[in-house]
Amino acid sequence: MSSRARIAVIGAGGIGAAAHLPAIQALAADVELVAIVDPDEARRTAAGETFGCEALYADATTMFAEIAPDIAVVATPPHLHEPLAIEAMRAGAWVYCEKPLTGSLASADRIAAVEAETGRWCVTVSQFRYSGGSRQVEADLRNGRWGRPLVGIAHTNWYRGPEYWDAPWRGKFATEFGGSTTTQAYHAVDLILWLMGGDWASVSGIAETVSRPIDVEDASVASVRFASGAIGSIVSTVVSHDPETKLQVIAEKANVTLDTLYLPLLDEWSVTTIGEGDAAMRVDGWAADEPEMHVNAHRAQLEDLIACWRAGEKPKLTTLESRATLEFLTALYKSSAEGREIARGEIVDGDPFYEALDASGPARVEARRG
């Protein structure tokens, strides 16, 4: 197949306009932007002007009927991901869907069923995995360069002021599903689980709304066990006065550390090892510093997806792969509600947490309002 992939963007708000549309523009040799959908007229008009697209739609159903794109980017509020992803696949498109993929394991299983039914794939945005530094670190950890991972740390301590929750979908279980852990810390959580080898086995957590006037949590802490015997610590907040994303794998021969806020670019990663006198010693030149190592990660993941679409191959991070992160988040919320460690595989059909990421959330809000 030599023609360009025809791609439509559904949702031209914050991340649609800031990351997806520029990524498509940067890949113009491989993709053609064929439509933008957003019920907000001002947003779709502005996006159409900025990114040179005249096919502007207020609803996706009409767009699918008239345009039949090859790939649909879904960058809407989370509660619309499942219906739009399913509609897109049934209309013949592959899907590149923003995180969180959806609001429950039951919903993820419905999306996976439609992948099987249609032969189309729904890929979850996991851009932190696609930064040059992350890819290099993951490859090094898998091939044993730094020895066995022992302790994994992912602390996402961000700040969001009151106006952040003006967007009507934010802060509520029905539309956002979860708070700081699911919305803000998603990338660091997904990345640490992947870097540790993907074998998380159980989690003990506490998720609470400690400050903001919202229903979903604004802070959580969690301890993790991995099947390998490694352990982990995850903190996810939006109430910090010193915003940072700090991610670290302490392995047998080195620490690999990401110190950043939003971008896990190569330069934000470092490797240290114990040197003379037990002092930490930076390892220089640990990564191949090539131009593609610095590429915007939304774009790098899209590039990978397009290559797979063109070759007719299964891409990474289809529904069953990203479901592992969704299951981890669900287990963290269930642990918080039940005050015990939750094992992977424990949440199945019939459990309220199978039907909702934070099934205990609404009752927690009621108790708080008392």
Closest distance of CB 275 from ligand NAD, Å: 36
Q: Quick check: 76 binds ligand NAD (CB under 6 A)?
A: yes
Yes or no: say if 265 and 168 are a contact pair by the CB < 8 Å rule. no
For 216-279, list the strands marked E by DSSP: 219-226, 231-237, 239-251, 255-260, 269-274
Applying CB under 6 A, among 27, 35, 37, 207 the residue interacting with ligand NAD is 37
Q: Does 217 sit near ligand NAD (CB under 6 A)?
A: no
Select from 22, 77, 243, 362 the one that contacts ligand NAD (CB under 6 A). Answer: 77
Site string for ligand NAD, 99-118 (x = CB under 6 A): x-------------------
d(CA 179, CA 250): 28
Q: Which is nearer to ligand NAD, 16 or 48 (CB)?
A: 16
Q: Give me the half-sphere count of Cα atoms (radius 13 Å) on the Cβ side of residue 272.
A: 13
DSSP 8-state secondary structure symbol assigned to residue 293: G
- Rounded to a whole number of angstroms, the minimum distance from the CB of residue 43 to ligand NAD is 5
Residue closer to ligand NAD by CB (options 80, 347) is: 80
Q: Which of 107, 183, 202, 336 binds ligand NAD (CB under 6 A)?
A: 183
Provide the residue count of the chain. Answer: 370
Residue 5 binding ligand NAD, by CB under 6 A: no
- By CB under 6 A, the count of residues binding ligand NAD is 24
| Residue 164 found at the interface with ligand NAD (CB under 6 A) | no
Give 146-195 as a 3 state SS string.
CCCEEEEEEEEEEECCHHHHHCCCCCCHHHHCCCHHHHHCHHHHHHHHHH
Q: Is residue 132 within 8 Å of 264, Cβ to Cβ?
A: no
With CB atoms as reference, the residue minimizing the distance to ligand NAD is: 13
Q: How far apart are CA 296 and CA 349, in angstroms?
A: 38
167 binds ligand NAD per the rule CB under 6 A: yes
Among 353, 322, 42, which residue's Cα sits nearest to residue 198? Answer: 322
Q: What is the closest distance, in whole angstroms, from the C-beta atom of residue 338 to ligand NAD in the complex?
A: 26
Shortest distance, position 353 Cβ to ligand NAD, whole Å: 20
270 binds ligand NAD (CB under 6 A): no
* Contact flag: residue 212 with ligand NAD (CB under 6 A): no
Which of 20, 34, 38, 111 is the binder for ligand NAD (CB under 6 A)?
Answer: 38
Show Cβ contacts of residue 290 under 8 Å, excluding neighbours closer than 6 positions.
Answer: 132
Residue 167 or 210: the one with the smaller Cβ distance to ligand NAD is 167
Residue located via tokens 């509600």: 337
Alpha helix positions (H), the chain: 14-15, 21-26, 41-51, 60-67, 81-90, 105-118, 132-142, 173-176, 186-195, 297-311, 319-338, 352-355, 361-369
| Residues contributing to the site for ligand NAD (CB under 6 A) | 10-16, 37-40, 43, 60, 75-78, 80, 98-99, 125, 127, 167, 183
